[in-house]
Structure 1
């Protein structure tokens, strides 16, 4: 079955409103360097940004470079992030990641998708977030929020996150591409929430093609 997306004009209106409401969107993960962002995004899988920030506020003042984390040691790193879900596997991945960055990249986060995805714990979504947020690439990382908003509104429909990413890459005009990831994730996190979307307070309610709108 072919999924029906909204028309070009309505899509442009939606993106314009989101831009006007938040002209300079930023990630809610706290970071001060590409490396800190890479670690934070890696830790954020199946965890909240709030939870990750609580852990990194203690970790980064002590160790915020690949070598510093290696010097810290795997077990101590694990203790710093033990409040985050899947902390055992995440600690192992971050520690291995740091070793590769030191050995192969002179401790610098590579501005290269292939090199990023070769790092432990880094998949396509994480690579896209780093490329977009740290380096300003016009790439779109699709998480559960963006997947839900894109399908629910019919902005860009797809059966999985990769399909939605490909659709967004195709239909989002160039002027919006750098920031659309942030607009959609924030919209999904605070307005177009999973269980009961807050349609009554949504700035794009009249443009959204979701049929089961709420009055909230």
Structure 2
């Protein structure tokens, strides 16, 4: 895909949604961090339902740590893999309290050292909480980038590197959100809704549908 076409795609996505953000509900970097940890292999809707009950009771490292694994599990048991996630969250809270003054570190290495936090989670936190021009590639972004030919790669890391290389600076802060929302609601996995797609004429996917 040439540069001009990429810019037009990104411009249309920006025009349609000038100020995109995550669909996870949060009010602080810590709430965002915990929500993203919980969102692995789970829906944002499911995570939001759980945190809507959890955060009014405990929304600080000290507050959640005080619940313990069993106490936290009661709030998040509707989320997949909740047992391992509860353990990771409690360990993360302990590290934040002991090593980071109960603050979420604005540092990739420090974030990735937290239990349950990988590169994708760190990218989401750095981008959404701290305004870094990082690009967190999940299954939606991987699919959309490859399907449209915007940025092709065999792995999520390959796609992230390609996006960072080909996306102009003016779009980098928000491209993660545009692509994830596009993949979640329009360029869906089984049968893309090409008839409802605002970049359909620019997309290089060969098997387009007429679905709206």
The TM tier, using the shorter chain, reads over 0.9
Aligned positions, number: 211
Per the alignment, residue 34 of structure 2 pairs with 39
In the alignment, structure 1 residue 179 sits paired with structure 2 residue 182: no
Displaced runs of 4 or more, over 2 A? none
| TM-score (norm: length of structure 1) | 0.97
Pairing of 1:1-216 with structure 2 (within 5 A): 6-216=1-211
Unaligned 5+ runs, structure 2: none
Per-residue CA deviations over 1:127-182 (Å, capped at 9, x if unaligned) read 00000000000000000000000000000000000000000000000000000000
Q: Which secondary structure does the structure 1 equivalent of 2:173 belong to?
A: coil
Deviation of 1:123 (Å): 0.1
Unaligned 5+ runs, structure 1: 1-5
Deviation of 1:117 (Å): 0.1
Question: 1:189 and 1:69 mapped to 2: Cα distance?
Answer: 30
| TM-score (norm: length of structure 2) | 0.99
The Cα RMSD (Å) is 0.3
Question: 1:195 and 1:23 mapped to 2: Cα distance?
Answer: 28
Deviation of 1:71 (Å): 1.3
Deviation of 1:204 (Å): 0.1
